[in-house]
Structure 1
Amino acid sequence: MSISAHVRPLQNVSAADAAAWHQVVAASTAHDLPGVPAPDAGQIHAMLTRPALGSHRLTWLATGADGAPVGVAGLRVFTSAGQDHLAELELHVDPAHRRLGTGSLLLSAAVAACRTENRRSLITTAPADGPGEAFGERRGFRRALTLDHLVLRLDDRAGADLERIAEAEHPGYRLAGWTGTVPDDLAAAFAAAKNAMNDMPVGDLDYGSVAWDADRVRAMAAVVADRGDTLLTVAAVHDDGTMAGYTEILVPQGVPPRVQQYDTAVVPAHRGHGLGLWVKAAMVRRLRAEYPSVVEIETDNADDNAHMLAVNHRMGFRSYRRTREFQLDVVTR
């Protein structure tokens, strides 16, 4: 069959463009990930129109002969030192319009943009063993990392067990928590703890590293708030004032039943004391008190991150799907 789609870059994303994008993503998600909630229209609009941290975004919309949306692609071009070689691709084609060349057109536009932006590494995520994986591998993407996705149901049984964990004493440490921007007296310590994420397993991804400071953690919180989401943080603070570990939860705008785990990290010098489990259990307690309509937390872990997988299984998280990270090595000129 001949290619009938037309691909155009979105310079200034309109409400109609965002609605078209949402239509394609919702259809793609329902087909490829049944039971997984797709982002709602408001989340899509915020993602497309609000700035991201340490990056800028390029977007494309593919339409059919009748002008209806059939595919979308977004490229997040990282700009921070340590990641300025990297771009991340999101690509969806409506299932009713697949195998007609639309995905290839969108991918070609994204790869060309990587060359223009002098990005050597293009990474993307696809459901394990799904059509996106096969599409990418046929076009030169190599498998670099497998992620286990887990869900915790916040039922009474889980709550009672995790309440005991949250209440356990950890001599030399105290819990701290905040919503949105970190308090000024903890900003430097939080940034130092954030840098502990640079040793997280990333498989064979050419992911680079990020240097965090107080200004960057404040900027991250501002980006989340600007798109209408809420960021919750619970941290373990040592008696000497250093932050030993922390966990973050993103509550999307509208407070859907399922929220997303963001970072969890324990600083190397403080590992082996159960702090990761402690802060995560305290976060569950906080969610149950402040957001009683939330019934699930979703997280993901690299399949070789045995320690964090063990922590999550101890909490009651259960695996329900897998995704894979892929990388294309872009030849730049």
Structure 2
Amino acid sequence: MITAVHLTEVSTEDATAWHAVVAASLASDLPEEPRPTFEQVHAQLTVVGRDNRRLLWLATAADGAVLGVAGLRLFTSPGQSHLAELELHVAPDRRRSGVGSHLLATAVKAAQTEQRRSLVAAAPGDGPSGAFCAAHGFRRVLALDHLLLDVAHADDAEADAEHPGYELAGWTGTVPEELAEAFAAAKNAMNDMPTGDWDYGSQTWTADRVRAMAEVLADRGDLLLTTAALRKGEVAGYTEIVIRAGETRRALQYDTVVVHAHRGHGLGLWVKAEMVRRLRAEHPGIVEIETDNAQDNTHMLAVNRRLGFRFHRSTHEYQLDLPAN
């Protein structure tokens, strides 16, 4: 008998079991990828986001053994309140025994109760997760390429390029107060990124929301680095890198944005090249950066290839359209 246990609070024992399932699942599906540490998983489960809520379940056997885990992220900002995002992992030796289907049914019911119309999940480009999604009525809505950059051998020459009227700025953690409003305005330019057939909605960034996002990362123990191109007090473009708590090798690319009115000047390549130099100087232990781009985001893919990013793997986003409850 399989039971989905809803976690209203996450104990150390719960987090340990969750981490064990996720680590085993990723080792099976993505054997060359680094596994998350216990500290990273614990922070993800216990640090609450400012614009979303999370529902968590453990799938247990009759003897209490944890067979699988599921997390449902419920977006709460007005432009995305229709959306829920699913993370689901089953221990490799318990797959094809109904554990995943049971967890999915539980999450779907919860999403409908929360009046969500779209449930999305990510799956590696190859492997059982995509087949599981397809078998349960999900449709593929977006294809992403994951790229890796060898920091030591990246082509950072563009950091020396001249961009008259623009200047570079950088900060760690929360945006400086004098740039908060301008940075929030620049973040809103992300709303025109390619999203395929994904029912993504839109995000509205304010200075308070920008600060809140940085606080969440800090509460998890993650380090947020930002490099921006400024023009007359306006943030014309920026790039963000996150180094997760306890990470010793790989940084994650977050947003890279150039505001529409400032496109066509090479600012995206400029700020990313400067970020490479910054990582070398400030965090020499970080040897690679991982990013992902929609396969039809030809401009950003070209920018990343100029820097030296190489194809690593692919991911597909799947969406289940939910009937009204």
Q: Given the two structures, how large is their TM-score scaled by the length of structure 1?
A: 0.96
Aligned CA RMSD, in angstroms, stands at 0.9
Tell me what 1:54 maps to: 51
**Using the alignment, how far apart are the partners of 2:192 and 2:79 within structure 1?**
14
**Using the alignment, how far apart are the partners of 2:50 and 2:105 within structure 1?**
25
Q: 1:314 aligns with which of 306, 313, 323?
A: 306
Q: Given the two structures, how large is their TM-score scaled by the length of structure 2?
A: 0.98
Per-residue deviation, residues 6-40 of structure 1 (Å, max 9, x unmatched)? 22111101011001000000000010001111211
Tell me what 2:165 maps to: 172
Q: 2:13 aligns with which of 3, 9, 16?
A: 16
Tell me what 1:298 maps to: 290
Q: Structure 2: which amino acid aligns with 1:97?
A: R
**Using the alignment, how far apart are the partners of 1:257 and 1:52 within structure 2?**
25
User: Percent identity of the aligned residues?
Assistant: 65
In structure 2, list runs of 5 or more residues that go unmatched: none
Deviation at 1:183, TM superposition (A): 0.4
Per-residue deviation, residues 21-74 of structure 1 (Å, max 9, x unmatched)? 000000000100011112110010000001113100000001234322210000
**Using the alignment, how far apart are the partners of 2:115 and 2:3 within structure 1?**
25
Q: Structure 1: which amino acid aligns with 2:207?
A: A
Tell me what 2:214 maps to: 221
**Using the alignment, how far apart are the partners of 1:247 and 1:15 within structure 2?**
35
Which secondary structure does the structure 2 equivalent of 1:20 belong to? helix
Aligned residues: 325
**Using the alignment, how far apart are the partners of 1:151 and 1:65 within structure 2?**
43
- The answer to whether 1:288 aligns with 2:280 is yes
- The answer to whether 1:193 aligns with 2:190 is no
Deviation at 1:256, TM superposition (A): 2.3
Tell me what 1:181 maps to: 174
Tell me what 2:105 maps to: 108
In structure 1, list runs of 5 or more residues that go unmatched: none
Tell me what 1:34 maps to: 31
Q: 2:241 aligns with which of 249, 257, 263?
A: 249
Which secondary structure does the structure 2 equivalent of 1:217 belong to? helix
Q: Structure 2: which amino acid aligns with 1:111?
A: V
**Using the alignment, how far apart are the partners of 2:58 and 2:248 within structure 1?**
27
